[in-house]
Structure 1
Amino acid sequence: MYLLHAAILAPFVLAALVPAIRKGTKKIHTGWIVLVLPVLLFVNFLRYLPVVRNDVTETFSLPWIPSLGIDFTVYLDGLGLLFALLITGIGALVVLYSIYYLDPEQEAIHRFYLYLLLFMGAMLGIVLSDNMIVLYTFWELTSISSFLLIAFWYERDRSRYGALKSMLITVLGGFAMLAGFVVLHSMTGTWSIRETIAMVAEVQGHPLFLLAMILILLGAFTKSAQFPFHIWLPDAMEAPTPVSAYLHSATMVKAGIYLVARFSPVFAGEAEWFWIVSLVGIITMCYGSILAVKQTDLKALLAYSTISQLGLIMSLFGAGSAAVYYGYGEESMIYAAATTAAIFHLINHATFKGALFMVAGIVDHETGTRDIRRLGGLISLMPISFTVACISGFSMAGVPPFNGYLSKEMFLEAMVELTHLHIFELGTWGILFPILAFLGSVFTFVYSMILIFKTFRGPLQKDKLGITPHEAPAGMLISPMILAICVVAIGLFPNMLSYSIIEPAMRSVLPSLVAPGEHFDVHISFWHGFTPALFMTIGVIGLGTVLYLLLNRWKGVYAMYPEKLTWNHLYDSLLRYGEKASRALTDAYMNRSARNYLVYIFGFMVIVLGAALWRADVLSLITPDTAPVNIYEIVLIVLLVISAVAVPFARQRLIAVIMTGAVGYLVTLFFVLFRAPDLALTQMIIETVSVVLFLLCFYHMPELRREVNTQRYRSLNIVIAISVGVIVTLISLSASGSSNFESIADYFVKNSHDLGGGDNVVNVILVDFRGFDTMLEITVLGIASLGIYSMIQLQLQGRDAGARILYLHRKVTLAPKVPIGRTRKETVTVAKNMKQFKSNDVILETSTKVIVFIILTFALYLFFAGHNNPGGGFVGGLMAASALVLLALAFNAETVRRVLPLDYRDIMATGLSVAYLTAIGSFVFGAPFLSHAFGYFDIPFLGKTELATALIFDLGVFLTVLGVTMTIILQIGEDR
């Protein structure tokens, strides 16, 4: 039932196991194990060919956030199946190719396959998701995973540059797409793509229709490298060649094409959709093909050819949208043929472009260079590679009898037909489409010939090659040979795809043109008579041949174009000036004064919250139904005020820390009085750990100085402090005095036992009702602890090496820190004393050996009892950490490391994994994300006992909190 969900999640699961596989199977190349998954997925998707051919779709849904209408719904139709087959089929060939291309002795192949599997899973998630929010989630995962793949050789500047450029452009486009989805949701009230298509009549007349269209197209254009967002694609060539072959033939760039195809039923037929998609596509085709001719790097040439081919496909989808206007009828079928051509060329491009990238990788691998100026004469040394290059290159050029010729003919016919289209008032402008199509096709022919003949023909230049050229090993040739065979087979027998793949995909793109149970007439043939497309093809081959033969005479025109007018220069300038402006703005307020930062934060908070209170007119100093204040509360309030007021007047930092801790412990007593034991426990332990952190940070702090305390300095502090106190008090009183909503507290109290299986309302809220909040909180805690760990490690490395670290293009010297008021000699002495420090307090050491076990036992009690009594995973983890902190204080951090040789980062990662797997596990039982179950069972010796899955989630919280706390404490404690 959930095979499609499993197909999407399987690459992610295998990616998580790749590091372990790498360690456990050192004698077997990791790629062979990874290869099994895409092959199995490809075979699995082949099973659905007869299903979608019979106009049957597969739909399965797992609840995720039902209250918001967000479900993990997978939907397999003709279009989704086409892309799934490309993703898994080409993916299997890429993995096979990479086994021979990447050297496991020199490359971190476990990282490579991990990133590749993440990318594969994200792409499957895009093409099989029906919910727009889920689609967007996978969309951004492709941006992240492609960033990691492009930056695989991260030690190279160009790799980092290309990865950053691709992520910036595609992620910004993704944000625009998300905004478009939100606008669509506001019009339809649903996140489902299928339901949105069903409401197309209501959507098209909406005032926000055009806005939603433009925003979604921005996401599609940035992802599929359409003009002018194409600039990231050539720089993505810094990735390993297997990655380039995968991204350019079947995945990354095809995601934008998929988005346009998937939303065509919603927007097609509108003049704006036709003009935007068709014009952007045809301009991109011409622009990419013209720039491809000037390239001297094989992969760069192929990158611009990909831009050109994507533009061709995009223009066809735009042209096919005209068919929607005519509805049923012969005239609509004329323009529907453009959609047929788009889908057909989508398949053809995947075959010949994947093969060409692999051949480029083989040439680089076996000659040591990809520079066309240094290549030539390889035809006799690499005959198999030459044959594959010829077949794939001629197909890309549109030469018969290969598959590229067929779809290129259909493309030219579609562009000619647009001149007869009157519905969009093309007028004389319609002639631009066949003219630009002809021009782009001519340059496509030229760069295809450059790729083939400049690489393999001519004299051999051995002195310019990095190594002695030779044919690639058989294993590296298998994948491109399979793709070349597909190029020939599809070219000779194109109709084997007509009704198995192309026609079902057409029904997904143009569902309004066929009645249920009916099918499009899809017939592809070589000969269509003496048509304009045929004469255009003859002209393309003739003019293209002339231009190729005279290439050296006219190629110099490229050098005449000013570099400063290129889109890449514009991008670099925007990035450079943006960094300068942001640096200047940051330097204006980042003056290394924590006090000033707090002034900015608190001042902004007071202004915004004060204005909100005033405008909302909810300010109220009357709190009805308040309980009487007793003597205990008055005493605590007085002590609390005295402790708080004493902090700014403390003359020693130790006194200030103690008084701050006193404030926290007094708040703990308030929680006790107000019968909130969970809060009291948490507050008490947090205060204890916080005081320890303050003490550990003493060495890193300058001596407390009072000479800067001018009258203005003190006055501003007083104003800020009083303002914050007043505004927080007013908010609290206003919230208690008036409420526009019914309190949800009664719901939690009444349902915690029946729905959550626990009597401790606080813990049930944390792990069940609001478990999503808790999961995100522990995630943030984990990220923060890793940030602290990384900063201290970088600082220690910088001190040890005396190194300069480049951060945000600014070199910062990390020299040994000398606290203010001490000499360097005194600092070194203090450091030595601290390093050799060992407590001489026999009583503390002896009692700690017993108390630690008592605290750990109490921590376990709090963890297990938390669902029905005060406690839980959060406070239990803090309590366990406090026991280890006590051990470190009584002895030292090294003792903790020796007694418990654990990596607390691993414990934190384990805790997060347990929490997330528990949340995802609910999908297995068809329940919403993070759903919990509980029951009562008779267990020997224990009797009737409650068992709840929330305990497993709470275990994740316990381990995460323990790992986070100890990572921070030990890292700061060991930084001498």
Structure 2
Amino acid sequence: MTGGLHLFLSIAIFIPFLIAIFIPFIYKRVPNRNIGWFVLVVPVLLFLFLASHIPTVAEGKTTIHTFRWIESAGIHFTTYLDGLSLIFGLLISGVGSLVILYSIYYLSEREALGRFYVYLLLFMGAMLGVVFSDNMMVLYVFWELTSISSFLLIAFWYHRKKSRYGAQKSMLITVTGGIGMLAGFVMLQSLTGTFSVRETIQVIDQYTGEGLFIAAMSLVLLGAFTKSAQFPFHIWLPDAMEAPTPVSAYLHSATMVKAGIYLVARFTPIFGGEKIWFYAICCVGIFTLFLGSFNAVRQTDLKALLAYSTISQLGLIMSLIGLGSAATAQGMSTQSAIFVQATFAALFHLVNHSTFKGALFMVVGILDHELGTRDVRRLGGLMAFMPVTFTIALIGSFSMAGLPPFNGFLSKEMFFEAMLSLRGLDLFSLGAWGAIFPVIAWVASIFTFVYSMIIVFQTFFGEHHPERIERPAHEAKPGMLIAPSVLATFIIGIFFFPNLIGDYLLRPAVKGLYPTLSNVESMIPAITVWHGFNTALWMTIGVIILGVVLYWRLHSWKGIYTAAPMRLNLDTMYNGLLLKTEEGASSITRFYMTGYLRDYVVYIFTFFILIVGGVFFTNGSFSIDLSNDAPIAANEYIIIFVMMGASIAIIFAKSRKTAIILNGVLGYAIAILFVVFRAPDLALTQIVVETVTTALFLLCFYFLPEWKMEKLPKPTKLVNGLIAVSAGVIVTVIALAAQGNKLFESVSVYFENAYDLAGGKNIVNTILGDFRAFDTMLEVVVLFIAGIGVFTLIKLKAGKEERDVEDQ
């Protein structure tokens, strides 16, 4: 593809950011309830644009566009559209469109809707930047933008303590992982010499034996695991559910938590085939699957239940990608089809999960919005009052449980087949351990079935208790039902026509993940609804039978969740670590923040003496050459001794006025020294500044109480004197060493030709006005901003005083 489409792909990433800039201005001019309709246009247009690329991508073509940026560092804004990024781009824009439509009816007009949609657009643009960026540094920038924007969205109801806590928790964990990922990217660049993902894939085979390769792999996985809520970093996701339901439906089912999945898939051609990569992803993924499904059953808040189910489903997808990464391992060519099919199943379930989990989040939001509660203990018998909501919940829950005729059944069967293939597989010395994976997958699927039944039967069946809910049960407005109904339609439609997605989206994505694997096209399976009575189907039948029994007897075995002490969990460890960190930081801060300026000056100069002096001493840089220096005249000696005398006299001054006058003597002596060195501009500036500061000092100190000389112990005086003399000696010696050891031509030589370069006869003015124009302009801008801040504070204080007068 050529021309404008390439360019528009790069521009498309910034469209949400550009619209977000104008939202505050538009928000003031349109009715509050209509701002959502304006924002809805953005993801719809992006979805249509990306959908237009489906035929091209299905043919195996890619779209690449590059803006040259930082040439010296190899950082360029390169966008790359292939099958993998297209899947994520369609999810980001498609689910984003439905979420915004849903939010129009979900959020009250009294909410700060302008702020909400600004945050949502920032997140949408950041996610698009992550999946379309080829340059690792650019990808990292967008990666951290997703953390920042999700922090703002989770804390949207900032007046709630739990919202602030959840936002902080997600920010700390995901940003920490992101910093590790950045270090991994830098290591990869130091190995390969490029930040481009595509170029790294082409040359990485030369560096797999390097020590940095394993370190880079581990750090990239750290970033992926933290973002996708994999064990042990999954603890942030349940607390993030304090966000408004549209945010949960978007960030925590379809987009943000899938960023880690995308990262692992995108870097599989780089790290795939490595034993550590395989074991780390498979083991962490399968354990996260079990842990999430097991903990979901114990939840009584439907949103928390969906949070843990999301953790579980992300573990399922991650384990499949880990298994698929072995396709390029040495000696696995005869079994590559098994691993390619695992990757195909991972991407298929990723799409399916976005549909049924997005629909379920919206259903829970409807229940909370209409009834005022999400607690399953207070719900029941709602099928008669909310038939449409019940139908959507039934479709989403049964799909999540892996039952036909819903799309989750198809990808779950493929998941079982992939796990079964590990039995007895001669892969990375797996051996008999491979039989554990299908067992864990089967047990986790049973718990998945149980919590799916909880959503349906404990919410919509049974006896209805109107006294337990805050508002009378009734169906939601039609507008709120549109988005989840569309997702429910996709759930059923994908089941009956799975190969539309398989052929046009999943197949090209899988081929892109195995650029070095021959005949990968023939290894990609066609999706079929009926596989016959194979082992995977018998596992599903077992899941249904045991799941029904466990759900029926739930009250008799749910007590196992209280067997372990509550303090023995990762949340308690996180809170304890955070508390200890805060206490430690407070102790350190109280130690050095004494409130005395003298102590802070001591810290600064001591650090300067130790670091700068130590470096000069260890490097032997204290060499001084005075042979080329000009002789010092008698009048210059006089001025210098006057300055020295004034400086020493300030220390022994017994009144503020005397100290200020001596400080003025020092300043005017410097001005005289400028005159002697034929720098009248500097001398004039020094005289003006010294006059103004001296006058201001006198004016300020006039209103201060009488100054009492501070009586310091002799040891303190000796230490202060030693520090002062040492700092002065080091500065003097450094200046003399720099003067006598010129390694390069002086920078001033360039500016001596100021008239020819800039048309100015005065070098100082030319430097300030031309050579340093941007710097000077920014200094003025800083002063302007400071002035605005002072003016704002004055106005706020004046406004407060006026309100206080009115209250009286």
TM-score scaled by length of structure 2: 0.91
Equivalent AA in structure 2 for residue 961 of structure 1: L
1:549 aligns with 2:537: no
Question: What is the CA distance between 1:967 and its match in structure 2?
Answer: 3.4
Q: Does 1:958 align with 2:760?
A: no
Find the aligned partners of 2:601 and 2:243 in 1 and give their Cα distance.
Answer: 43
Residues 657 and 493 (structure 1), Cα distance of their counterparts in 2 relative to 1, 3 Å cut = farther
Selected match of 2:190 from 183, 186, 191 = 186
State the distance in 2 between where 1:132 and 1:168 align. 21
Aligned match of 2:571? 568
| 1:61-100 correspondence runs (5 A) | 61-100=66-105
Q: Do the aligned partners of 1:394 and 1:448 also contact (CA within 8 Å) in 2? A: yes
Instruction: Compute the displacement of 1:424 (Å).
Output: 0.8
RMSD (Å) for aligned C-alpha atoms: 3.1
- Which letter maps to 2:121? L
Q: Which whole-Å deviations, capped at 9, do the CAs of 1:813-869 have from their partners, x for residues lacking one?
A: xxxxxxxxxxxxxxxxxxxxxxxxxxxxxxxxxxxxxxxxxxxxxxxxx8xxx227x
Aligned partner of residue 475 in structure 2, secondary structure: coil
Matches within 5 A, 1:901-916: none
Secondary structure at the counterpart of residue 418 of structure 1: coil
**Aligned pairs (5 A) from 1:126-525:** 126-325=130-329, 331-514=335-518, 521-525=524-528
The residue matched to 1:622 in structure 2 has which SS?
Answer: coil
- Equivalences for residues 896-975 of structure 1 within 5 A: 954=777, 957-965=779-787, 967-968=789-790
CA distance in 1, matches of 2:572, 2:93: 37
Q: In structure 2, the residue corresponding to 1:74 is in which secondary structure?
A: strand
Asked whether the equivalents of residues 316 and 339 of structure 1 are also in contact (C-alpha less than 8 Å), the reply is yes
Question: Structure 1 residues 672 and 512 mapped into 2: Cα distance closer, same or farther (>3 Å)?
Answer: farther
- Cα distance, 1:414 vs structure 2: 0.5
Residues 708/265 of structure 1: CA separation in 2 closer, same or farther (3 Å cut): same
Tell me if the contact between 1:282 and 1:436 (Cα under 8 Å) persists in the aligned partners: yes
Aligned-partner Cα distance in 1 for 2:653–2:796: 28
2:625 aligned with 1:622: yes
**Matched residue type, 1:724:** A
- Measure how far apart 1:707 and its partner are: 3.4
**Matched-pair contact (CA < 8 Å) for 1:150–1:238:** yes
- Mapping for residues 633-652 of structure 1, pairs under 5 Å: 634=637, 637-652=640-655
Question: Tell me, what secondary structure is at the counterpart of 1:230?
Answer: coil
* Compared CA separation, residues 8 and 643, structure 1 to 2 (3 A): farther
- Describe the SS at the equivalent of 1:373: coil
Secondary structure of the residue aligned to 1:420 is coil
Do the aligned residues in 1 keep the contact of 2:321 with 2:346 (CA within 8 Å)? yes
Contact 1:696 1:972 in 2 (8 A): no
Which residue does the alignment assign to 1:845?
none
Secondary structure, aligned partner of 2:370: helix
User: Does the 8 A contact of 1:618 with 1:738 survive in 2?
Assistant: no
Q: 1:289 corresponds to which letter in structure 2? A: S
Counting aligned pairs with the same residue, the percent is 54
Per-residue CA distance 1:224-281 (angstroms, 9 max, x = gap) = 1100110011000111111111111222111111111111011110111110000000
| Contact residue 499 and residue 522 of structure 1 kept, 8 A | no
Deviation at 1:341, TM superposition (A): 0.5
Q: What is the CA–CA distance in structure 2 between the aligned matches of 1:128 and 1:354, rounded to whole Å?
A: 23
Seen in structure 2, the aligned counterparts of structure 1 residues 522 and 607 have a Cα distance that, compared at 3 Å, is same
Query: What is the aligned counterpart of 2:27 among 12, 22, 27?
Result: 22
- How many Å apart are 1:642 and its aligned residue? 4.2
Q: Residues 438-485 of structure 1, C-alpha deviation per residue, up to 9 Å, x if partnerless?
A: 011111111111112111111111111111121111111111111111
Structure 1: runs of 5+ lacking an equivalent: 766-861, 876-953
Shift of 1:510: 1.9
- C-alpha displacement at 1:746, in angstroms? 5.7
Q: State the distance in 2 between where 1:385 and 1:974 align.
A: 49
> C-alpha separation between the residues in 2 aligned to 1:708 and 1:503?
82
**Which range moved further: 414-423 or 584-593?**
584-593
Amino acid at match of 1:167: M
C-alpha contact 2:341 2:524 (8 A) present in aligned 1: no
Map residues 39-54 of structure 1 onto 2, 5 A cutoff.
Answer: 39-54=44-59
Following superposition, the deviation at residue 328 of structure 1 comes to 8.9
CA distance in 2, matches of 1:339, 1:696: 76
Paired with 2:376 and 2:760, the residues of 1 have a C-alpha distance of 71
| 1:503–1:519 contact (8 Å) kept in structure 2 | no
Superposed CA offset, 1:777-830 (max 9, x none): xxxxxxxxxxxxxxxxxxxxxxxxxxxxxxxxxxxxxxxxxxxxxxxxxxxxxx
SS in 1 for 2:532: coil
C-alpha distance 652-371 of structure 1, shift in aligned 2 (>3 A): farther
Amino acid at match of 1:489: G
How many residue pairs are counted as aligned between the two chains?
A: 793
Match of 1:799 in 2: none
1:708 maps to a residue whose letter is K
Distance in 2 (alpha carbons) for counterparts of 1:699 and 1:90: 67
CA contact (8 A) 1:162 1:232 kept: yes
Deviation at 1:534, TM superposition (A): 1.0
Question: Alpha-carbon deviation of 1:26?
Answer: 3.2
Distance (Å, rounded) in 1 between the aligned partners of 2:66 and 2:128: 16
Q: Give distance in 2, aligned partners of 1:762 and 1:177.
A: 46
2:585 alignment partner, one of 573, 582, 587: 582
Shift of 1:177: 0.8
Name the SS of the counterpart of 1:564 in structure 2. Answer: coil
Equivalent residue letter for 1:33 = F
- Look up the SS of the partner of 1:24 in the other structure: coil
Opposite residue 70 of structure 1, the aligned amino acid is I
Q: Letter of the aligned partner of 1:66 in structure 2?
A: E
C-alpha contact (below 8 Å) 1:507/1:520 kept by paired residues: no
AA at the equivalent of 1:867: D
Distance 1:454 1:748, change over 3 A: farther
Question: Partner of 2:79: helix, strand, or coil?
Answer: strand
Q: Spell out, residue by residue over 1:137-165, the C-alpha distance to the aligned partner (whole angstroms, 9 max, x if none).
A: 11111111111111111111111111111
User: 1:969/1:99 Cα in 2 relative to 1: closer, same or farther (>3 Å)?
Assistant: closer
TM-score between the two structures when normalised by the length of structure 1: 0.76
The answer on whether the counterparts of 2:40 and 2:100 sit within 8 Å (CA) in structure 1 is yes
Distance 1:44 1:589, change over 3 A: same
Do the aligned partners of 1:874 and 1:961 also contact (CA within 8 Å) in 2?
no
Contact 1:262 1:508 in 2 (8 A): no
- Distance in 1, Cα, partners of 2:126 & 2:142: 5
SS at match of 2:80: strand
d(CA) in 1 for partners of 2:582 and 2:641?
51
Question: How far apart, in 2, do the equivalents of 1:700 and 1:398 lie?
Answer: 79
Given that 2:754 and 2:760 are in contact with CA atoms closer than 8 Å, whether structure 1 keeps it comes out as: no
Q: Could you say which residue in structure 1 is the equivalent of 2:707?
A: 704
Give distance in 1, aligned partners of 2:263 and 2:367. 34
Counterparts in 2 of 1:657 and 1:469: CA distance versus 1, 3 Å: farther
Task: Encode CA deviations 1:723-764: one digit per residue, 9 max, x unaligned.
Answer: 21112222233333335666666678789987x999998899
Change (3 A) 1:358 1:207: same
1:38 equivalenced with 2:43 (yes/no): yes
Correspondence for 1:922: none
Partners of 1:353 and 1:41 lie apart in 2 by: 22
Residue 110 of structure 1, CA deviation = 1.4
Residues 88, 597 of structure 1: alpha-carbon distance in 2 compared, 3 angstrom cutoff: same
Q: 1:459 to 1:211 in 2, by over 3 A?
A: same
- Distance verdict in 2 for CA 1:636–1:171, change over 3 Å: farther
Shift of 1:538: 0.8
Q: Deviation per CA, 1:530-573, whole angstroms, max 9, x where unpaired?
A: 22111111111111111111111111111111111111011111
Are the counterparts in 1 of residues 16 and 124 from structure 2 also a CA contact under 8 Å? yes
